Amino acid sequence: MLTLLSTNINFPNLGIELKNVGTGFEVFGYRIAYYGMVIGFGMLCGWLVAEWMAKRTGQKTEIYLDFALVAIVSAVIGARVYYVVFALDEFADNPFSVFNLRTGGLAIYGGVIAGLISAIIYARIKKYSFWLLVDTACVGLVTGQIIGRWGNFFNREAFGKYYDGLFAMQVNVLDASGVYRNTTSVSRLEELYQGKEKALERILEIRNKAVTIGDATYIQVHPTFLYESLWNLCLLILLIAYTKHKKFDGEIVLLYLIGYGLGRVWMEGLRTDQLFFWGTPFAVSQLLSAFLVIASVALMIYKRRKAKFRTRR
């Protein structure tokens, strides 16, 4: 086995230097990326947690094994389609790279949407409660997200703007996207980010404040993948703790959408690699997160009132 790429990742203000962090390895000339391994491990753990939650709430666990087999495949497809639709320029020169998932390019909201569609179809076929199904499955989903975000760590992606605070992270510029390297001219950046001045300013700030350590150049940024992983861990604890106190089926998944959406609105505001609505400076995931929070709060209020009315009757 041969490590493909191995450079340091530093958290200078925490005094942490992670040496020789690879992105993957080769087996008989075939590249295996840590990104895919982490995503796969996250999916496995998500299924196990969903089964555990099913047992905890008195459900049949085989329901969730069958659903996981369907939902995981559809979620991966949905996550890739969502990313590709809003990043078409990346695949213009090599359309077949759409099928190469080892280098990243999975958008979680695409997976969530595809998973929800799968849940609707699966619940109807199995004649099972959709709301109970997604209440249980979302606990597995957020588990997978906690772990899966570390795939971004190995890929040196999904980070934020320049930052010099406590959690500042330094990444070798050669490991990051080409837009952060001086080999990409400012005029080319202006062309790529036409109409997205804020994103352009952030990228230029990261480039201008790069530091030299030894013979390597490092950019210093917000580790937003870490923020999201920790945020989701707190959300998972909340969801598990609240499960036995829920007032109606569907309340857990609505809490998930509200909690995750709120965190994502904040974190998307820090990132520099956002997906934008075509020809606009508006980040797709940030707007979608805000919409999901508002819609979920409204639906939760409605369902709580409905449950309360039934109790009174």
Q: What is the pLDDT of residues 249-301, one digit of tens each?
A: 999 999 999 999 999 999 999 988 877 777 777 888 899 999 999 999 999 99
Contacts of residue 15, defined as CB under 8 A and 6 or more positions apart, other chains included, come to none
Model confidence at 27, pLDDT cuts 50, 70, 90, reads confident
Residue-level pLDDT at 2: 41
Q: Cα separation of 176 and 216, whole Å?
A: 13
Q: What's the pLDDT tens digit per position in 127-178?
A: 999 999 999 999 999 999 999 999 999 999 889 999 999 999 999 999 998 8
Across all residues in the chain, what is the average pLDDT?
A: 89
Q: Cα separation of 128 and 112, whole Å?
A: 20
Residue-level pLDDT at 123: 95
Share of the chain above pLDDT 70, in %: 95
CB 144 within 8 A of CB 46: yes
pTM of the predicted protein model: 0.88
Q: Cα separation of 126 and 302, whole Å?
A: 27
CA–CA–CA angle 143, 156, 17 (5° rounding): 95
Domain coordinates in residue numbering, the chain = 31-312
The token duo for 220 is 């210093």
